[in-house]
Chains A and B, each alone.
Chain A
Amino acid sequence: MSQLNATKVEKYRNHFLREVEANVEEGHWVKMCMQCGVCSGSCPLGPYWEHPPQEIFMMIRAGKREEVLKSSSMWFCTSCYNCIARCPRELPITHIMHGLAHYAKRLGLAPQNQATPKFAQYFWDNLYNGGGRVNELKLGLSLYFMNGLVEGIKTALKMRKIGQGMYFSKRMNPFEIFGGHSCKDSQGLKAALNKAREIEEAKAAQFKG
């Protein structure tokens, strides 16, 4: 991976654009952006983005590989789909943002102290190791204790009433903490996911420096 990070990309050349097209979900749409800025204006979290979507697209075309992939921007996307609904060029902007985030994470370039990639990793580990199903109790607790034991206990106490309510209305089973249940043929699912990752990595390897 580290070699991949170091790939030299010349500015205003199509290398990085081609890399994005090959590896990022819906990445082939990036070149079609006409820089009107409607997406940036429509994003409810726009003011918090380091680079608004339309700028991200221009940065990709300008070959700013590190800056794009290390950016926290696409991790702010809440999938509200305002940008997709309004884009006059009909770019699937939300999907591209998630695609870019995913690609950056795979390359190990996603920002370390941003909450969204952390949660995404918990979610994935929970699903991948938990036999193809998300164990909500375990996922919730791992989030409570994400920032240490004291924080975790505080959060748990704060959420006590909701937990009790869910327990009495049979929305939560405390015994799930001891393993829980998995989907059928969880080993087969794991194999399929491993194969998919293998294919993706082979594709990305073409762009190693």
Chain B
Amino acid sequence: MAEKKLGAYICKGCGIGERLNTDQLANVATREGKMSFVKQHDFLCNSDGVAMIQADIDAGTVNHLVIAACSRRAKTDAFNFADVAISRANLREGIIWVRPATAEAQETTQEMAEDYIRMGCAEVKFINLPAASNEQSLVRHVLVVGGGFTGLTAALEIAKAGYQATIVEKSASLGGVAAQLHKRIPNCSPFAESQSNGIAELIAQVQGNNNITLHLNSTVTQTSGAPGRFEVKITQESGSTITANFGSIIQASGFKPYDATQLLEFAVGKSPDVVDQLGLEALARQANGGKIKRPSDGKAVQSVLFVQCAGQRSNKPGHLPYCSGHCCLTSVKQAMYFKDSDPNIDAMVVYTELRMPGAGGEDFYRSGQNKGITFTKGVVSEVIPNSGSLTVKFNDLILNEAVKQEFDLVVLATGMVPNSGVNIEEVVAAPEEDKTEAKTATAAPVETKLAAESILNLDYRQGPDIPQLVHGFTDSHFICFPYETRRTGIYAAGPVRRPMDMNQAAEDAAGAALKAIQALENAALGRAAHPRVGDLSFPQFRKEGCTQCKRCTVECPFGAINEDEKRYPLFNEARCRRCGTCMGACPVRVISFENYSVDTVGQAIKAVDMPDEFSEKPRILLLACENDAYPALDMAGMTRQEYSAFVRIIPVRCLGSVNTIWISDALNSGYDGIILMGCQKGDNYQCHFVKGSEIAHYRMSKIDDTLKQLKLETERVKTYEIAITDIQRVPQLINEMANTIAKIGMSPFKF
């Protein structure tokens, strides 16, 4: 951009004009902020105020503006000006709504406002307008890895939306596990009867669709590139390989049934009459609506027992610790196979907790009860095969007694094990040199019992597959952002990301299809995907200053940074989510974004007026994550909760983008306390950038050394995990810090 033309607009609406001396603020903006002009308006966000700003922009008098009004999260539709850099000084939620309207508070409140003006003016000078690199192209083609129910549904959804889809299926046939089912759990009202699995129709639709290409007996042997330009090698069993380009990828690699032979107490393998749920589906398909016969001697089954949670929801070694979500419904469905063929067959379900997820789950349960299926809460301890029957020992937890009972057939509700490929965290732990060897060595990882082969074979520095979260499922936030993985443009759908039934898998497939389309469209314009959707900025680095320390490549949660042949970081713009974790990681401060940089924040920190040590006016710097902590602070303002006037709040994209150099600079320039507020970290993370908050907490755990070097008290720097709902807590934390400083005294570093 050409010359930076600076201007500031101060709003006097919403009580700002009454509470603050805006003429004084305008003075600060001109004299200290070096704004070429400052305009005040009684109601800046109304059409008149907006028209005034737009007229200035159109006339070319301003292209970098400070809007001193409400929070940057408010009135975004009004203050939405194209092609200009904007900094917002939060005078409303950040000041007048959190400060008492008393005469004695007036001085500090006014000082707070003046500092926010100084910070806004400092920031805007260092903002550059980001622009797309124009190197992108639109590839309207999505790769779907896995031809099961989820994959087929996703491919159809993509084709229906007018995009191309390619399915890569490892086996010789489509349909996956769903094709092995006799019937499926109902997906529509009245949710009373199980229904046809619909796979044949689904396959016919896929095969008849011109927008869908099929590769059977094939695997993905290499994936390189980035969203918008993935280059994928698809290899057939015969060895022939083709290479194709895709805009985005959906991984629907599904699950394997749990290996029931580990359940020795249930006589699996000892008697053919003990089967898992898929085993029963095979028997039901054989019977095809007639009487189901038991495998041992072909006698029609007269009594059947369903054992819920067999080898799952248990912490015993070799068991699955989680609930697979569909098995209760599946057992009801399977018990109905018997009851429908003959109501006089005794079908019983022994559960510890019965869960019927989904809209019609409870209706289906009721329908099962109505058909005469017996349900009881209990724990099955042993299945003993005899000649001609099975003796089952269980504890009835409702009647509180030990029971021994004969059954013709026992069905075990075993769980789902995700096909999520290689656990890259174990690969990374292997020495750098044998990276290629490590890939094959992980064929027998310690934690998952099933041999893991890579599914995507990503040509990423970070490893060949999508990172996993817990229990081997691929990482995706269950509630806030399902399907999103830590590899941009690659979406996980179906049981590979969490256990689920077909109804949920269909929703997952549609959701991931939309996400994949959005990702390739955004990538074509050089814009970010979730959560900073549409952001054009991307990290840039000064190569001369780089020391090749690799912190940015290691810490990037999204595997966006590779290394070039000279071991310099190689940024993949389209893979980047713009969190700035690399910027926070860089010890030599060479990584920055156009509109969010070491300078935009660093200069705002320095712009604050620092009263001397004897003024009794400490300064607290608060770096707040813009996703959760900053909204919580805004809401504290909306609910009129008071907090200390000594705090100066700067929003950051993610706590991961906080460079420890900002902290030591702030301490050196006289700040008395520093608070960092990020999102919840760990397995139940709420961090929008998954690892940002965790990395920031780790970095800050080392800050004590810096404080000790400066001979400062360690209480001066605090890092917190904040949820968006912590509206009462954030003012308390600020006031706590103010009290701490009152106790331990002011920082000696004031100049």
Contacts and interface: CB of A to CB of B under 8 A. Distances in A.
Interface of A: 11-14, 17, 31-32, 34-35, 54-55, 58-59, 61-62, 64, 89
24 contacts: A11-B405, A12-B346, A12-B348, A12-B374, A13-B346, A14-B344, A17-B372, A31-B369, A31-B370, A31-B372, A31-B374, A32-B370, A34-B365, A34-B375, A35-B398, A55-B398, A55-B399, A58-B399, A61-B374, A61-B376, A62-B376, A62-B396, A62-B403, A64-B399
Contacts of B375: 34-35
B377 interface: yes
A12 B372 contact: no
A14 B372 CA distance: 8
A14 B376 contact: no
B377 A12 contact: no
Interface in B388-402: 396, 398-399
B128 interface: no
Interface residues of B, number: 19
A144 to B, nearest CB: 41
A2 to B, nearest CB: 27
Contacts of A12: 346, 348, 374, 376, 403, 405
A14 B374 contact: yes
Given A31-B369, A32-B369, A55-B398, A11 B376 contact: no
Contacts of A17: 372, 374
Contacts of B370: 31-32
Contacts of A14: 344, 346, 372, 374
Nearest to B344: A14
Nearest to B345: A14
Contacts of B405: 11-12
Nearest to A67: B399
Nearest to A37: B398
Contacts of B344: 14
Nearest to B373: A31
A14 B374 CA distance: 8
Nearest to B406: A10
Contacts of B398: 35, 54-55, 58
A13 B303 CA distance: 8
Given A14-B374, A17-B372, A32 B366 contact: yes
Contacts of B303: 13
Contact of A11 (B365, B377, B403): B403
Contacts of B374: 12, 14, 17, 31, 61-62
Contacts of A59: 399
B372 to A, nearest CB: 6
B344 to A, nearest CB: 8
A20 to B, nearest CB: 12
Contacts of A61: 374, 376
A25 B284 CA distance: 37
Contacts of A62: 374, 376, 396, 399, 403
A96 to B, nearest CB: 15
Given A14-B372, A58-B396, A58-B398, 14 more contacts: A11-B403, A11-B405, A12-B346, A12-B403, A14-B346, A17-B374, A31-B374, A32-B366, A32-B369, A32-B370, A34-B369, A54-B398, A62-B403, A89-B366
